[in-house]
Structure 1
């Protein structure tokens, strides 16, 4: 016998709604990880490009050191 309560339309829409922001947060975190990794690779391979985009070495190092959840 199934003991789980039936799920009504309100619960279904609430579950669907709550996943959107979570997916957005995860996508943002992935983007930051990728961006910071690329910035690190480019700063090592072509340090002169950092000057071209208007950043200092200290700014690049500070950005790379941030955890993925930090802006």
Structure 2
């Protein structure tokens, strides 16, 4: 994985694909699923921003660079 987007794509719940294995969340089809995915992305990016601000040493521990974090945080919630 080279970027935070690759990492996020690997762990996010895609509403178009059936979940693999056990999931804590039920499958969310349709418009509700789209809104839920957007909300997940927004929360993920907010959490990433807090970690980058308050605990920047964790960014390197996750195998990311601050440039990759800035790139991810610049995306609107509807972009993967």
**TM-score (normalised: structure 2):** 0.63
Matched, 1:29 2:62: no
Question: 5+ unaligned residues in a row in structure 2: which ranges?
Answer: 1-28
Q: Which has the larger radius of gyration?
A: 1
User: CA RMSD for the aligned pairs?
Assistant: 0.6
Which structure is richer in relative contact order (CA contacts within 8 A, separation 6 or more)? Answer: 2
Higher helix share: 1
**TM-score (normalised: structure 1):** 0.71
How many residue pairs get matched? 52
